Amino acid sequence: AGPPTLVQLAAASQRPREAPVVRRKLKHVGSAKELKSIRRTCMTEPFEDPDFPPSFNDYVKSWCRPGEIECSDFKPVKPGKEWHLWKEEPSYEDVRQGILGDCWLLSPLAALAEFRDGLFVRALLPEQRGRCREGVYLVRLCLGGVWRDILVDD
């Protein structure tokens, strides 16, 4: 067949790469149970994904959990105000990209947030709206045509 063409190489380099956390395939029925078990275990020490721990590189100079974030939209968060994944109903305005190249994930999430007042986004984060003190979230994603439940840390 010969070596790949430049067009093929360029197309392959634009495809999202599977992060180690995605390899953790959880059975749909057991996912919620595993989430509850991890939350009980992590009451004193927040969850850290063993397959994808936080790391520092040229893009990440410091790392903190959502509960440690002290500003929102460049304005201070009011003391005592609960931190939420989104305001009222999910909206495309709630999805923001940082300096990481993850627009392949964020663009569809922003589009889905507009569909039926965020109904689909709420299904991706079942029974989770606010900050999880234990630092673990269950996210449902369709990867390669297969729905998968994935546990991620904050």
| Three-state secondary structure string covering 78-94 | CCCCCCECCCCCCCHHH
Which two tokens mark 128?
């989770």
| C-beta separation of 130 from 82 below 8 A | yes
103 is catalytic: yes
Instruction: Indicate the burial class of 132 (C-beta count within 10 angstroms; 0-12, 13-18, 19 or more).
Output: buried
Q: Which of 42, 71, 103, 132 does the annotation list as catalytic? A: 103
- What amino acid positions are annotated as catalytic residues? 103
